[in-house]
Homo-oligomer: A and B are copies of this chain.
């Protein structure tokens, strides 16, 4: 911050503006460009913004590197409350916020090493529904494109999927990891096709990765769903634009955002609601 030191000189700490507070900060542990490339954030922020507008509360948004360090001073100086999206294990900002005394609610279950009230979607059950749908469709050579390992939501989707397959006697599930983006889904699918050329189904932890996987499968000459069934996660707009249309697990992002925002405004930290996820069957599986 040394480049900005002169500002502190021009606006001393005692200045009235600095002492006042206002607004809710949505802190996104992700890269800035993903704020615009992953529709999850637009869906979440629009819904949270509507609730805040009802209360005349300003919304602020900032991104911090997924691996930290986080911009704690900027946030703490500004926000009366924080919605923290996508905190990963050992994220310094998550740990600092959880002990800051500032009202914070995690969006998605926080890592085990962080204690925060949160609101989440039932990622584990959503992934279980995806596995069940593939099993009922007769698929047995099933692979998964998972999200970043340090992210609780990614862990829950992986565990829910693999756990259901194990119960069906399928112990070996090839897993490739992506960052939820479309290109990472393409690369992960290419890796899986080399690792398990006989696979007949793949579950991707995001719709963008599923769209990327469909792209890779087409280039590899595999028909979807005839040769390989594909299921995504999110029910993002892209799920209706893929060819074939994407079967996916819908997570109620708008409802999650509205509920988490209302709980933050109400000062309620005792409840951690988990909203149901729902399998939406289209054409790809």
Contact = CB atoms under 8 A, between A and B. Distances in A.
B20 A76 contact: yes
Interface string A211-238: 0000000000000000000000000000
B103 A74 contact: no
A55 to B, nearest CB: 5
Nearest to A16: B76
Contact of A1 (B18, B57, B74, B76): B57
Contact of A21 (B22, B73, B266): B73
A181 interface: no
Count of identical protomers in the assembly: 2
Interface of A: 1, 3-4, 6-8, 10-11, 13, 15, 17-25, 32-33, 35-36, 42, 45-46, 49, 53, 55-64, 71-81, 100-103, 265-267
B101 A10 contact: yes
Given A60-B62, A74-B78, 8 more contacts: A1-B80, A15-B101, A17-B77, A25-B60, A35-B42, A61-B62, A74-B79, A78-B78
Question: Top 10 A-B pairs ranked by shortest CB distance?
Answer: A78-B78, A17-B76, A58-B71, A23-B74, A4-B80, A20-B73, A22-B74, A22-B73, A36-B42, A32-B49
Contact of A61 (B1, B8, B60, B75): B60
Given A22-B1, A42-B36, A61-B62, A11 B74 contact: no
B21 A103 contact: no
Most interface-central of A15, A36, A56, A74 (chain B CB within 10 A): A74
